[in-house]
Chain A
Amino acid sequence: MKAIIDCNSFYAACERVFNPSLNGKPVVVLSNNDGCIVSRTDEAKALGIKMAGPYYEAKEMLEQHKVAVFSSNYHLYGDMSWRVMETLRMLCQHVEVYSVDEAFADLKGIQESAMWNYGLHISNTVEQWTGIPVSVGIAATKTLAKVANHLAKKNKVATQGTVALLTPGQIREALENTAVQNVWGVGFRSTEKLRWLGIDTAWKLRSMSEEWAHKNLGGVVGTRLIKELNGISCIEMKDPLRKKKMIATTRMFGKPVFELAQLKEAIATYTSRAAEKLRRQSGAARLIHVFVVTNDYSAHNYNYNPSTKGLYTTLPIATSLTNQLIAHAIMLIEKLYKKGSRYLKAGVMLTDIVPDTSIQYNLFEPPAHDNLRSLMHAIDNINFGMRDELVKFATSGTKKNWKMRQEHRSLRHTTRWDELYEIH
């Protein structure tokens, strides 16, 4: 049996851990830069607040209903996520962290009669230890577990946040009560097609043949979906330590940027971050890709019509050295820059990643000096220990007026000594 454990309104729940007066009250959390709403509690959903809706559109309504609004506090959410996952690792043999707020767990060895109770035990322990409420779905396959989780979330009180689909009867009832668009892996386009064919519930989808799914739902993916709904496990637990094939750092600017100098600072900063992530997985990249999003408008009408432009370059040898990567990134942004454009966003992507130990040296390029590598190692250690890019490359700039807007961020209670919660 497999379980999926999913945190309820995760970001908002993190805010509630240190602010219990918000329990039972509507809370929303905004994305990077206070752009749109990315997390809502049930109370906020009940007010009709839309997911991913722009903040400025909802602002008046949020004030009117006295909704608590927070900017993203990624330091807090990251730490809370670690706590949830670590707790799960104590309770289950094999945990696959699927995203910041959800994980699959293998419940091998637990008797079916004890399954629901074990799910409840997981949910109670996570909430007791971390303060984060979770929903648990248990079934024979990942796809069915997702269905179970969805039902647990929809009926928190009746199910106590835990649903296990074990008997054919339970599975049938659950699938009949699940709209086809809520099935894991059914996209927007497939939903339209399925609805047009009269397949509106997961139960109806389940009875379709594998051949039909292969033809109509994207080949192997479709076949797998039908099998999973029929209780035949096809999507196995993944190895927890998988190295990324691509590393990207991208942000919206606090306000539009016009100057090349500022753009260069931003790109240098993002490159440093990406290089740090690259070194953390002991990788080296061969391809660096820089992109920008602009939104230009004429004098008379403002339209949000963003366009993305990007350029990439292949490095002579794979590297993880920040200075080398920055040098290439800066060349790319200089080529990309067009005077007069409004830049909203920029990003750096590192791909073609190879393990740092197996870098293919090129006859014409001298190998990276070991002392440069030691320097990177030292910088990473200082920055990890002291926080906030204490040591950085001068190209990254020192003022950063293009940085994220975060007007409602709570304190980082779990990661900073000077921001601890004050108890009376």
Chain B
Amino acid sequence: MEVEKFFGSRYSGSKRFTQQDVSTANATGFTAAADDYMERGIDLNEQLIRNKPATYFMRVSGNSMINAGIYNGDIVIVDRSLKPQNGKIVIAVIDGEMLIRRYEKTLNRLRLVPETSGLSPIEVNEFCDFKIWGVVAYIIRQV
């Protein structure tokens, strides 16, 4: 089974919208011009969640990705249907442990690279039990 097929499906799921109340509809003064341009307000779900059944939220603990701008306590939005590509930040499973790292794939070598000086990269070889759990799509942080 080639890898391509795994990611072959696209989510085209139902986005449920509720019709917004047009607040000026009952207005007695100036109305009409704005009403013509009413549209749905911005919905974060629409932007941050591309594929709902495949999207998971996780909280980052520790500083393993600090140089990539991911801090302790940040929330990462992980999409399992995205294909891991060189340079992407991923959730990887290596020997039963789940880690957030940068996915570094070159011609003949695969590494999981932390973004901190305190940790060293992990070489993935044929002796490792290795799998990509999902790809990090967004980070949410309170300022």
Question: Which residues of A are at the interface with B, using a C-beta cutoff of 8 A?
Answer: 18, 20-23, 82-84, 86-87, 89-91, 120-121, 124-125, 128-131, 160, 413-414, 417, 420-424
Asked if residues B53 and A86 are in contact (CB atoms below 8 Å), the reply is: yes
Cα–Cα, bound, A91→B54 (Å): 14
- Min CB distance B65 to A, Å, is 9
Cα–Cα, bound, A414→B78 (Å): 12
Cα–Cα, bound, A124→B3 (Å): 10
- A125-B9, A423-B98, A424-B100 are contacts. A86–B59 as well, Cβ < 8 Å? no
Contact for A420 among B7, B57, B64, B96, CB less than 8 A: B57
Complex interface: chain B residues within 8 A of A125 (CB): 6, 8-9
Contact string against A for B residues 1-12, beta-carbon threshold 8 Å, 1 for contact and 0 otherwise:
100011111111
Cα–Cα, bound, A160→B5 (Å): 14
- A20-B133, A91-B9 are contacts. A424–B99 as well, Cβ < 8 Å? yes
Asked if residues B131 and A20 are in contact (CB atoms below 8 Å), the reply is: yes
Interface CB pairs A-B, < 8 A, 8: A20-B131, A86-B53, A129-B53, A131-B80, A131-B133, A420-B58, A421-B98, A423-B98
Asked if residues A129 and B80 are in contact (CB atoms below 8 Å), the reply is: yes
For B, the interface residue count at a CB cutoff of 8 angstroms equals 35
Complex interface: chain B residues within 8 A of A424 (CB): 60-62, 64, 98-100
B88 at interface (Cβ–Cβ under 8 A)? no
For the A-B complex, the count of residue pairs with Cβ-Cβ distances under 8 Å equals 88
- Min CB distance B87 to A, Å, is 19
Cα–Cα, bound, A89→B53 (Å): 11
Residue with the highest number of chain A CB atoms closer than 10 Å, among B12, B59, B62:
B59
Asked if residues A83 and B61 are in contact (CB atoms below 8 Å), the reply is: no
Complex interface: chain B residues within 8 A of A422 (CB): 58-61
Complex interface: chain A residues within 8 A of B5 (CB): 121, 124
Asked if residues A130 and B53 are in contact (CB atoms below 8 Å), the reply is: yes
Asked if residues B93 and A20 are in contact (CB atoms below 8 Å), the reply is: yes
The B41-57 residues at the A interface (CB cut-off 8 A) are 51-54, 56-57
The 3 closest A-B pairs by CB, nearest first: A21-B96, A129-B54, A83-B53
For A25, the closest partner residue in chain B by CB is B96
- Min CB distance A351 to B, Å, is 31
B76 at interface (Cβ–Cβ under 8 A)? yes
- Min CB distance B128 to A, Å, is 13
Cα–Cα, bound, A82→B54 (Å): 11
Cα–Cα, bound, A193→B29 (Å): 82
Complex interface: chain A residues within 8 A of B91 (CB): 423
Asked if residues A86 and B1 are in contact (CB atoms below 8 Å), the reply is: no
Cα–Cα, bound, A130→B11 (Å): 13
B97 at interface (Cβ–Cβ under 8 A)? yes
Contact for A87 among B54, B64, B75, CB less than 8 A: B54
Contact for A423 among B11, B53, B80, B100, CB less than 8 A: B100
For B62, the closest partner residue in chain A by CB is A424
Asked if residues B6 and A90 are in contact (CB atoms below 8 Å), the reply is: no
Asked if residues A128 and B98 are in contact (CB atoms below 8 Å), the reply is: no
For B81, the closest partner residue in chain A by CB is A129
- Min CB distance B48 to A, Å, is 15
Complex interface: chain A residues within 8 A of B64 (CB): 424
14 more A-B residue pairs beyond the given contacts A129-B53, A413-B56, A423-B58, with a C-beta to C-beta distance below 8 A: A20-B96, A20-B97, A20-B133, A82-B53, A89-B13, A90-B12, A125-B6, A129-B54, A131-B133, A414-B56, A420-B58, A421-B58, A424-B60, A424-B100
- A21-B96, A424-B100 are contacts. A124–B75 as well, Cβ < 8 Å? no
Cα–Cα, bound, A377→B56 (Å): 30
Complex interface: chain B residues within 8 A of A130 (CB): 53-54, 80
Cα–Cα, bound, A422→B98 (Å): 9
Asked if residues B97 and A128 are in contact (CB atoms below 8 Å), the reply is: no
Complex interface: chain B residues within 8 A of A414 (CB): 56-57
Complex interface: chain B residues within 8 A of A90 (CB): 9-13, 53
Complex interface: chain B residues within 8 A of A160 (CB): 1
- Min CB distance A375 to B, Å, is 22
Asked if residues B1 and A124 are in contact (CB atoms below 8 Å), the reply is: yes
- A124-B5, A424-B61 are contacts. A86–B80 as well, Cβ < 8 Å? no
Complex interface: chain B residues within 8 A of A413 (CB): 56, 58
Complex interface: chain B residues within 8 A of A23 (CB): 96
Cα–Cα, bound, A422→B60 (Å): 6
Contact for B97 among A18, A21, A131, CB less than 8 A: A21
Cα–Cα, bound, A112→B61 (Å): 49
For A127, the closest partner residue in chain B by CB is B6
For B136, the closest partner residue in chain A by CB is A423
- Min CB distance A115 to B, Å, is 15
Cα–Cα, bound, A421→B77 (Å): 11
- Min CB distance A135 to B, Å, is 16
